[in-house]
């Protein structure tokens, strides 16, 4: 059940995965507004959190803000059922130096930019 995220997978909502330090998990969960209708489950002793909500853009922005504030981990949109991907990037934005490295690595094996352009990060 946990491996397949079954408690959240059965609901028709976006699914977010957050990897963080287990000690940061309670603060991250507590930071979410109960009005958002968020369901969550934890794995890896709190180091891997799964969140599901229908208002996912708000959830994604909040998760990423808390992750940045904690300077711990990343938040990734795993399943998009509410066209959230059109409004928010599926992967945690990278710091500028890491983004430039990612861009150069991708350009080295995909110089024409034909492999999933923009799927992970805008402009790559």
Would you list the domain boundaries of the chain? 6-90, 94-124
Cα-based distances in Å from 15 to 33, 100, 110, 124:
17, 28, 29, 24
> pLDDT (tens digit, 9 = 90+) per residue, 100-124?
999 999 999 999 989 988 888 888 8
Q: What is the pLDDT of residues 20-51, one digit of tens each?
A: 999 999 999 998 877 678 889 999 999 999 99
Full-model pTM: 0.81
What is the fold, at CATH topology level, of the domain defined by 6-90?
Alpha-Beta Plaits (3.30.70)
Looking only at Cα atoms, what is the longest distance across the chain? 46
36 vs 62, more confident: 62
Cα 118 from Cα 122, distance rounded (Å): 5
The pairing of beta strand 48-53 with beta strand 14-19: antiparallel
């Amino acid at each position: 059940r946990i491996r397949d995220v079954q408690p959240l997978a059965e609901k028709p909502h976006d699914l977010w995965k957050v990897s963080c330090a287990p000690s940061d998990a309670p603060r991250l969960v507590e930071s979410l507004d109960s009005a958002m209708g968020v369901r969550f489950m934890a794995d890896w002793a709190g180091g891997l959190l799964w969140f599901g909500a229908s208002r996912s853009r708000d959830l994604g922005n909040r998760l990423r803000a808390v992750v940045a504030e904690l300077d711990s981990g990343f938040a990734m949109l795993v399943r998009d059922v509410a066209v959230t991907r059109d409004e928010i990037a599926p992967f945690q934005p990278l710091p500028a130096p890491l983004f430039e490295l990612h861009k150069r690595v991708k350009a080295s094996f995909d110089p024409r930019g034909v492999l999933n352009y923009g799927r992970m990060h805008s402009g790559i």
